[in-house]
Structure 1
């Protein structure tokens, strides 16, 4: 019995030493080889580069108030929504969320941005007070430095985070 245990342990040690010595890849090499199977890509969710030079503002040729927002924004519940109004020639901004299921009553939203009167509208959906599986109406109202009023609205769809087990 002692001989068989000794023989078995020697065989096991030999197997470990043989596998270790026959493998000339380091852990880093194996990780690189595995990760090399995947292609890194970056997704741009914007149709075009939207910086202050390319976004039309009131007074620019081609500005249309109906193009300040897209028709619909679909946002996963555990995500952040970050929107911005026109960058130039604007005196004031007002962002308002309405609930169509409650006769378009205004919804109080907890913002990450400075206020509903800033150029940006940034909300982290879980902390915002908005519900998943719900569609809201988001309105942006601006007043230009010349006192002209513009308004645009869109649908804001909050969908739940789906997990597949």
Structure 2
């Protein structure tokens, strides 16, 4: 089988709190350029998600990714350098995280809330009892001759 070719466009997910920013970018884009796009999304009027810290410039946050140990994500994160390119460091549809800085400039921990599968306003669907199974199910007598 031939080797898998590089995608022409990368889809990246930037997550923080309850907010997910979807970025579509060419492979030669730098992390610094992704940071500018993230800043644009964070400072736009549509960002009305609670608890997301307000940013005044690109120095208020960093883009990071979860460190993987034997293919599984851990709770540790590494900050991506601005000069790195997408194709050299990331995979298509990779989930990245925003780490904000506090007033002293120190990186705060990553905060991501996974959405509930059941809306808070919706009632839980009713649970039905399974029908009692019959021992004869699927078995019939052969017709008499």
TM-score, normalization: structure 2?
0.32
Name the one with the larger strand percent. 1
- Higher-Rg structure is 1
Return the structure number with greater helix share: 1
TM-score by length of 1: 0.29
